[in-house]
Structure 1
Amino acid sequence: MDPAQNQDLLALAVTAATVGTLHTLMGPDHYVPFIAIARAKNWSLRRTAAVTAISGLGHVGSSVILGFLGIMLGIAVHHLTGFEALRGNIAGWL
């Protein structure tokens, strides 16, 4: 990997981490429930951190899956649009 690719990858990673951190901090619904449950059930800091981390991975993973589904849907619609245009052209010639 050349230095330019390393810099691009680093910039992408820093940007993703920054956006993720801001996303979490600006949405109390991302952390307040964990605090409330942990206090109500007398969880240790370690257990709270583990449950929060696992939930965070699930949140990110489901977002990635939804993103891929959106991309696949967009590709499918693009192909469908091309097919519909071809069908319309054939119908015009008949």
Structure 2
Amino acid sequence: MIQILIGSLVLSVLHALIPSHWLPFIAISKTERWPLGRTLTVTALAGLAHTLSTTLLGMIVGLAGYEISESYHELAETVIPAVLLMLGLYYLMQHFRHAHAHTHVEPRDMAGRSYGALLLSLCLAMFLSPCIEINAFFLSAGAIGWQALTLVAVIYNVVTLAGMLCMVTLGVYGLQRVNAHWFEHHEHLITGLTLIGLAVLNLFLEH
């Protein structure tokens, strides 16, 4: 149980800190000259759409874990680390191929739209871009039961939304002056290494 909560927390923090989850909102707010309140409102609604779709997908995955709950120890010792490891290797491969995924919002595509159209477009873009990394922990939590599954969902939603709002607030007050290109360029590397580290952690805690 502890490795599930730790893994969910780590991935949720990483998820919120990735520039593609907050930098576009800062860029759009600057272009549209939005006050901080409106920027945070848009970020919260779009972020909620994003975490909602990820949670819905995670609950479906969690049901699969629930169906094989009698094999939880085998699941925790072999399947979950293997899934995390494969995801980690996938992101490392994407990094070395110089592919840029996880770009939920492209600010240039939003230029010239009304506030309502912007809000709808941002929410739709985020809803249709669920993050799959957390699903390994939804699967593992589902094998334990609904309480664990709910905890993972709460951790993911609260930490991700809070992190996005914090980063946007900091960005509005000057963090955008820091060149985030390095983080964007190495997003897959960071994610991949984190997932591999969590796979190792999961094995260590289970043994």
Q: Sort the TM-score into its range (normalised by shorter chain).
A: 0.5 to 0.7
Q: Does 2:33 match 1:42? A: yes
> Amino acid of the residue matched to residue 46 of structure 2?
S
> Equivalent residue for 1:23?
15
Partner deviation per Cα, 1:6-47 (whole Å, 9 max, x = no partner): xx9xxx5x875554233211x110011101100000000000
| CA distance in 2: counterparts of 1:16 and 1:67, whole angstroms | 12
- Measure the CA separation in 1 of the matches of 2:9 and 2:37: 22
3-state secondary structure, aligned to 1:69: helix
User: C-alpha separation between the residues in 1 aligned to 2:50 and 2:13?
Assistant: 13
Which of 50, 55, 77 in structure 1 is aligned with 2:46? 55
Report the Cα offset of residue 70 of structure 1: 2.5
| 1:22 to 1:69, Cα distance in 2 relative to 1, 3 A | same
Q: Counterparts of 1:60-75 in structure 2 under 5 Å?
A: 60-72=51-63, 74=64
User: In the alignment, residue 32 of structure 1 is paired with which amino acid?
Assistant: L
| Structure of higher CA gyration radius | 1
When the two chains are superposed, the root-mean-square deviation of aligned CA atoms in Å is 2.8
Residues 41/28 of structure 1: CA separation in 2 closer, same or farther (3 Å cut):
same
- Cα distance, 1:28–1:70 mapped onto 2, change above 3 Å: same
TM-score (normalizing by structure 1): 0.54
Count how many residue pairs are aligned between Structure 1 and Structure 2.
64
2:57 partner SS: helix
Report % sequence identity. 38
Runs (4+) off by over 2 Å: 14-22, 69-72
- Greater share of helix: 1
Q: Relative contact order, CA 8 A, sep 6+: which one is greater?
A: 2
